[in-house]
Chains A and B, each alone.
Chain A
Amino acid sequence: MTAVRVAARGEDERHVGYRLVITLLAYALPVVFILLPLILFLIQSFYYVDHGDIVRELTLRNYERFFTGRAFLPVFIKTCWLCLGVAAITVLFGYPVAYLLASLEGRRKYVMMVIFVIPLMMSYIIKIYAIRAILGGNGFLNRILLFFGIIDQPLTFLIFNLQAVLLTLSVILLPFAMLPIFIALERIPRSLIDASFDLGASSFQTFRDVIWPLSLQGTIVGATFTFVLALGDFITPQMVGGTSGFTFGRIIYSQFGFAFNWPFGAALSVILLAVVLVAIVGTGLLARTRHQL
Chain B
Amino acid sequence: MDEAPKTLIELRQVAKSYSGVEVLHDVDLMLRDGEFMTVLGPSGSGKTTILRIIGGLVRPTSGAVLLDGTDISAMPINRRPFNTVFQDYALFPHMTVEANVGYGLKVRGEQKARIRERVIETLRLVALEEYAARYPSQLSGGQQQRVALARALICEPRLILLDEPLGALDAELRRQMQRFLKRLQKEIRTTFLFVTHDQEEAVTIADRICVMNNGQIEQIGSPEEVYYRPANEYVARFFGDNNLIDIAIGSLGNGYREVTSKLGTFRCAIGNRPGLAEVTAGRPGKLLVRPEAIAIGSAGDGAQNRLRVRVEDMSFVGPVSQVLARPLAEPERALMIKLASRASGIPLAVGDEAEVGFSAEECHVVTT
Contacts and interface: CB of A to CB of B under 8 A. Distances in A.
Interface of A: 189, 191-192, 194-202, 205, 209-210, 213-214, 289-293
A290 B88 contact: no
Contacts of A290: 135, 137
Interface stretch (B40-48, B78-86, B166-174): B78-86
Contacts of B78: 197-202
Interface in B64-96: 76-79, 82-84, 86-88, 90-94
Contacts of B103: 196, 199, 201, 209
B93 A214 contact: yes
Contact of B90 (A195, A202, A209): A195
B151 interface: yes
B155 A199 contact: yes
Given A191-B87, A200-B79, 20 more contacts: A189-B88, A191-B88, A192-B93, A194-B57, A194-B86, A197-B57, A197-B76, A198-B55, A198-B56, A198-B77, A198-B78, A198-B82, A199-B78, A199-B103, A200-B107, A202-B107, A209-B106, A289-B94, A291-B135, A293-B93
A196 B103 CA distance: 8
A197 to B, nearest CB: 5
B136 A199 contact: no
A192 B90 contact: yes
B104 interface: yes
8 contacts: A191-B86, A191-B90, A194-B86, A197-B76, A200-B104, A209-B107, A291-B94, A292-B137
Given A200-B78, A200-B155, A214-B94, A195 B86 contact: yes
A291 B84 contact: no
Contacts of A194: 57, 77, 84, 86, 90
Contacts of B55: 198
Interface of B: 55-57, 76-79, 82-84, 86-88, 90-94, 103-104, 106-108, 135-137, 151-152, 155
A214 B104 CA distance: 18
A262 B79 CA distance: 68
B226 to A, nearest CB: 29
A32 to B, nearest CB: 40
A210 B100 CA distance: 11
Contact of A205 (B76, B107, B137): B107
A232 B107 CA distance: 44
Contacts of B88: 189, 191
B92 A192 contact: yes
A209 B78 CA distance: 15
Nearest to A194: B57
B57 A199 contact: no
A213 B92 CA distance: 10
Contacts of A205: 107
| Chief secondary structure at chain A's binding surface | helix
User: Most B CB atoms within 10 A — which of A191, A195, A196?
Assistant: A195
B92 to A, nearest CB: 6
User: Most B CB atoms within 10 A — which of A191, A200, A209?
Assistant: A200
A200 B152 CA distance: 11
Contacts of B76: 197
Contacts of A196: 92, 103, 107
Nearest to B148: A195
Contacts of B90: 189, 191-192, 194-195
Contacts of B92: 192, 195-196, 209-210
A195 B89 CA distance: 9
Contacts of B87: 191
A292 B93 contact: yes
Given A210-B92, A214-B94, A291-B136, A201 B107 contact: yes
A112 B77 CA distance: 29
Contacts of B94: 213-214, 289, 291
A198 B107 contact: no
Contacts of B93: 192, 214, 291-293
B11 to A, nearest CB: 19
Contacts of A202: 78, 107
Contact of B84 (A192, A195, A209, A213): A195
Contact of B57 (A189, A192, A198): A198
Nearest to B134: A290
A253 B299 CA distance: 102
Nearest to A188: B93
A200 B75 CA distance: 12
A192 B93 CA distance: 9
Q: Which 4 A-B pairs have the closest CB atoms?
A: A291-B93, A199-B104, A191-B90, A195-B90
B83 A198 contact: yes
Nearest to A193: B90
A209 B92 CA distance: 9
B58 to A, nearest CB: 10
A199 B137 contact: no
User: Most A CB atoms within 10 A — which of B56, B76, B83, B90?
Assistant: B90
A291 B108 contact: no
A47 B136 CA distance: 55
Contacts of B152: 199
A290 B137 CA distance: 9
Contacts of A213: 94
Contacts of A201: 78, 103, 107
B99 to A, nearest CB: 9
B256 to A, nearest CB: 52
